[in-house]
Amino acid sequence: MNNKRTKIKLVSRFNDFLGPRSPHMWSLFEPYFEWQPWQPDHDYDRESTVFVSNWMNSSDGWLLQKQDQGYRVVIDSSWEPHLPPQQIYEIKHSQWFWFLTSQCLRNLSYDSYVPNKNMTKTVFMPVNYMKPFRVQMINSLAHRLDNFLWSNQCRDADPGPDRRNGQGLPGDVSPENNEWIFYVNPMWYDQTFCSLVLESTDHAPPFLTEKTFKAIAFHHPFMILGASECMSTLRSWGFETFENLFDESYDQTENLGRRIDIIVKNVDRITIMDYDIITKQKLQHNHQRFYDSVLVQNKVINEIIHPLLQYVNS
């Protein structure tokens, strides 16, 4: 379709947020692609141009129109969980948030972070959108929240009866900041024993985001309330989980109430103490695997970029 020295042009509209175009990922895509903003009156070469839209904007007919005109078209679903299969080629990978968060935190030099533990709270639990399964978890932990470092931005839904509404984290930046989703204050991890990650969805299949990978990046043991099989998914990706500290049987049941009950019992048993040798080994292993730049970059190139190039050149 094109010679190897010619970069493929990825053309998108200004209102299309694209995962590959994020500041921390584009360096991996740039050797292969050139991004251009769409100009309606421009005549694009069909051999070297691919039109791209994110999933949220893909239903307005723009991509299908370009496809009917003989262009290659792609939907970027990299940030989206559990989408129905598309009739158009998708940029999608289950480990996308591992790659993205690793690239981001490495660029911010957090790969050299060394814990400086001064634990005063048992659990770190940041919460943004108050989805029903998160509200259920928070309400079930009401008797323990005074010993948590947690946030409750109260966005998107009524948070329920807990009266400590709208609280942020100490040393946080405004949610209106463009980099807020990846902002981290290491103090949050230094001052707490473990993380309780309230993932983006509680529906199968497992969908693991920056929420989980921040805990891994900052040497933190963790539990996850999300879909069932989140922990087994992480283990299949080469990460360690913390069955030595917590009853992880909650990860095997699809019943949300049962998962919450087991997590609450785990929290009730937490005592602030130094990590044992097994936990320290798990934390170090996870940190090293998460920040393995060769591994991450090779996976992005071989499992995302090369298949996209193969599609484009077919």
Q: Return phi, psi of residue 182, to 5°.
A: -110, 5
- Give percent of the chain with pLDDT exceeding 70: 92
Residues 6+ apart with CB under 8 A from 176: none
DSSP class of residue 181 equals G
Q: How confident is the model at residue 161 (pLDDT cuts 50, 70, 90)?
A: very low
Tokens encoding 292:
């393995």
- Mean pLDDT computed over every residue of the chain: 91
pTM attached to this predicted model:
0.91
CB 252 within 8 A of CB 228: yes
Residue 51 β-bridge partners: 11, 73
Residue range 283-312, pLDDT digits in tens:
999 999 999 999 999 999 999 999 999 999
Residue 254, pLDDT above cutoff 70: yes
Residue range 178-220, pLDDT digits in tens:
777 888 999 999 999 999 999 999 998 999 999 999 999 999 9
Strand order in the sheet with 192-198: 148-150, 121-125, 192-198, 222-225
Measured distance CA(307)–CA(305) in Å, rounded: 6
DSSP-derived pairing of the beta strands 49-54 and 33-37: unpaired
Beta-strand ranges (E) seen in the chain are 8-12, 33-37, 49-54, 72-76, 89-91, 121-125, 148-150, 192-198, 222-225
- Res 1: pLDDT: 44
- Res 159: pLDDT: 43
What is the arithmetic mean of pLDDT over 170-182?
A: 79
Q: How confident is the model at residue 5 (pLDDT cuts 50, 70, 90)?
A: low
Residue 114, pLDDT above cutoff 80: yes
Q: How confident is the model at residue 80 (pLDDT cuts 50, 70, 90)?
A: confident
Classify residue 70 as left (phi > 0), alpha (psi -120 to 50) or beta.
left
